[in-house]
Chain A
Amino acid sequence: MRYLCIAMALLFALQPAVASAQRGGRGGGGGARGGGGGARPSGGGMSARPSGGARPSGGNSGGFNMGGDRVSRPSGGSMNGGNRGSMNGGSRGNAPVSGNGNRGNAPVSGNGNRGNGNGNVGNGNRGNGNNNGSNNRNNGNRNTNINNNNVNVNRNAYINNPVYGGGGAWGWNHGAAWYPASGYWGGGFWGAMAIGVTSAAVYGSIVGANNVTYNSYQVAPSTPGATFLSNYQLVQVQCGPPNLVVVYGPENSVICANPNNLVQAGNYNLDTQTLSLAPI
């Protein structure tokens, strides 16, 4: 019995101790949170940093230690817009936009005059023909024109995406709209290459109208561009040689690939909504 009493006494003595230990644990938790706060003041250690001195007043009192990374111009708000505006304007406003049109228009109209006209005569392909055809008919170049027409008919075919062709808009992107990010080559469609970045692998170039040269870069894996290439079973190659599939993408970007059974050699515009190809 005496032992039982001692045991009971020990049990009661221990019980509060355990409870207090738990309370102590809670206190410890609070300490940890306090420690977290301590880490922030160590950010306050930024005040000891040379760059910390350059921070505006009030910066040292809390928040993030990014004072040295602020755009060094007065009144950040308006400046913010200014920066973005100039970057966008630079890339979009550059010759690329008009250059693109020139690039596309030149070959199309050139071939169209010859090919389409011939098609109207030789194959009676009225659907694809146009007024130029009747003009060519008078030229009497029927044989040559028929051949050209065959080429043109193929080029005029819009190539639906073999994988997502019936998926509707943005089917390739889980139905979520994709829109370009300024400051990245191709709006980021081909990868996260910043405009003007020198570390990206240059994959040849295309000389467009007005002798404007457009560099092409290696498509990064796991990007919308890589998905596009995979869908068409295309393999990217360096731009420059003739008889390639030349694809003009978002934000005046261009990539090249070897032709295959799905895509013939030629110039194409990429529809980012459906990942389909429209011949130029």
Chain B
Amino acid sequence: MRIALLAVLACFAASPMVVAAKGTMTIVHTDGDTNVYNDVAISVIHGALYMQSADAKGTMVIHRAACSYQEKIMVCLLTSATLIQGGETSALDFRRGTVYVNGTGDYQPLALSTTKVAPHSILLTFQTEKGTYVTLRGRIDKVVD
């Protein structure tokens, strides 16, 4: 009985690892209003980064370029952001941004920072012309070359 109980507990302890495969997006507006979105699905498809909300009603598409390596971290500058939502595809008034990709199986530190990027995860931040900051941190769920 107790063995069964332990097995169930172990199962619950292990299950959050599956949930952790999703990302968390934070949007900070110029007026200080902040939105946090958990369980954002992160996919890299044909070089573009797709971030889909948990309710699947919004998808943000990011295009990157000028990718180079800082030690084992790949750093890319972002060139545009598009929002697919409510049946519309709209360009965001993108200003600038950077994405850090850790394709290794270990935690990797960012250059000149104490921040570490988790294995097979990304850290992304960009700013719109209006001044809204978007950050995303999480594990890449799917890669399609």
Q: Do A and B bind each other?
A: yes
Interface residues of A (CB under 8 A from B): 15, 18-19, 22, 25-26, 29, 36-37, 39-40, 42-43, 45-46, 49, 51, 56-59, 61-66, 68-72, 76-77, 79-80, 83-84, 173-174, 176, 178-184, 187-189, 192, 194, 221-224, 227
Contacts beyond the supplied A26-B12, A222-B75: 17 A-B pairs with Cβ under 8 Å = A49-B31, A57-B86, A64-B58, A65-B29, A66-B83, A68-B29, A76-B91, A173-B68, A174-B69, A176-B69, A180-B66, A181-B64, A181-B77, A182-B65, A184-B96, A187-B65, A189-B66
* A71–B92 touching, CB < 8 Å: yes
In the bound assembly, the distance between CA atoms of A6 and B9 in angstroms comes to 28
* A18–B5 touching, CB < 8 Å: yes
For B76, what are the chain A residues with a Cβ–Cβ distance below 8 Å? Answer: 181
* A80–B55 touching, CB < 8 Å: no
* A184–B92 touching, CB < 8 Å: no
In the bound assembly, the distance between CA atoms of A64 and B128 in angstroms comes to 14
Closest to B132 in A: A69
* A84–B80 touching, CB < 8 Å: yes
For B55, what are the chain A residues with a Cβ–Cβ distance below 8 Å? Answer: 37, 40, 62-63
- Known contacts A26-B12, A80-B82, A194-B95; is A64 also within 8 Å of B112 by CB? no
Interface residue B70 (Cβ < 8 Å from any Cβ of A): yes
| Contact string against A for B residues 69-85, beta-carbon threshold 8 Å, 1 for contact and 0 otherwise | 11000111111101101
The number of residues on chain B lying at the interface, defined by a beta carbon within 8 Å of a beta carbon of chain A, is: 57
In the A-B complex, the 10 residue pairs with the smallest Cβ-Cβ separation, listed nearest first, are A63-B58, A58-B86, A62-B57, A76-B90, A188-B66, A181-B65, A80-B91, A181-B66, A222-B111, A63-B57
For B45, what are the chain A residues with a Cβ–Cβ distance below 8 Å? Answer: none
* A194–B96 touching, CB < 8 Å: yes
Closest to A251 in B: B66
For A184, what are the chain B residues with a Cβ–Cβ distance below 8 Å? Answer: 66, 77, 96
Closest to B78 in A: A181
* A76–B89 touching, CB < 8 Å: yes
What are some 29 contacts across the A-B interface (CB < 8 A)?
Answer: A15-B1, A37-B54, A39-B36, A40-B55, A43-B35, A43-B36, A43-B37, A46-B35, A58-B86, A58-B87, A63-B86, A66-B27, A66-B58, A68-B29, A70-B83, A71-B90, A76-B82, A76-B88, A76-B91, A84-B80, A173-B69, A176-B67, A179-B66, A180-B65, A180-B66, A183-B96, A184-B96, A222-B75, A224-B68
| Contact string against A for B residues 108-141, beta-carbon threshold 8 Å, 1 for contact and 0 otherwise | 0001100000000000000011101010000000
In the bound assembly, the distance between CA atoms of A180 and B55 in angstroms comes to 35
* A69–B130 touching, CB < 8 Å: yes
* A192–B77 touching, CB < 8 Å: yes
Most buried by B among A15, A188, A227: A188
